[in-house]
Amino acid sequence: MDDFWVFGYGSLMWRPGFAHVETRKARLFGYRRALCIHSHVHRGTPDRPGLVLGLDRGGSCLGLAFSVPGKLAGEVIAYLRERELITNVYLERRLAVRLEGGQIVEALTYVVDRRHPQYAGAMDPSEAARRVAGAVGQSGPNEEYVINTVQHLKALGIRDHWLEAVAERISGPAKSL
């Protein structure tokens, strides 16, 4: 297999967990970062689900693209499938992303499956904050997940106004910035 790109929009950006030779900011068109997946294990329970990120249709998403050497394809793809496809709420796709500088490349990407029972659908920041508040799973409080995500994005120079609005409603402006 030839060298390939992987697109990250959430924790994959600051904790990729796989070998790569280059990282570039990239924009995926046609999908947006959203708290659109019910979490029944890591950030909630079946009785009190939390919300985690997915790429949902509409808009665009600024994230990071990682260039992976072709000789590592089997290892990296196996790792990503184990990490991302546990409950099959994500669909593996190869989609065009625009790298910083304008180059268009195909990237391995994981988008939400809208037919999956864990799909939470679109919601405004107030509704997302209401669902996140108080949810706790094996990986900790859902509020922590959202606030940490916003902080990581800002550290990478990436603004996500919708997600920032959710974080602000959870914790107030001082904690989420």
Q: What is the per-residue pLDDT for 150?
A: 97
- Rounded CA-CA distance 33/52 in Å is 10
Closest Cα to residue 47, out of 133, 135, 114, 142?
Answer: 135
Q: What is the per-residue pLDDT for 86?
A: 86
Q: What is the per-residue pLDDT for 1?
A: 74
Q: What is the per-residue pLDDT for 173?
A: 55
Q: Which two tokens stand for residue 67?
A: 């260039």
Predicted TM-score (pTM) of the model is 0.91
Q: What residues are annotated to the active site?
A: 84
Is domain 4-176 classified as CATH 3.90.105.10?
no
* Ranges of each domain in the chain: 4-176
Which residue is it, tokens 């297999």?
1
From first to last of its 177 residues, the chain has per-residue pLDDT tens of 799 999 999 999 999 999 999 999 999 999 999 999 999 999 999 999 999 999 999 999 999 999 999 999 999 999 999 999 989 999 999 999 999 999 999 999 999 999 999 999 999 999 999 999 999 999 999 999 999 999 999 999 999 999 999 999 998 654 444
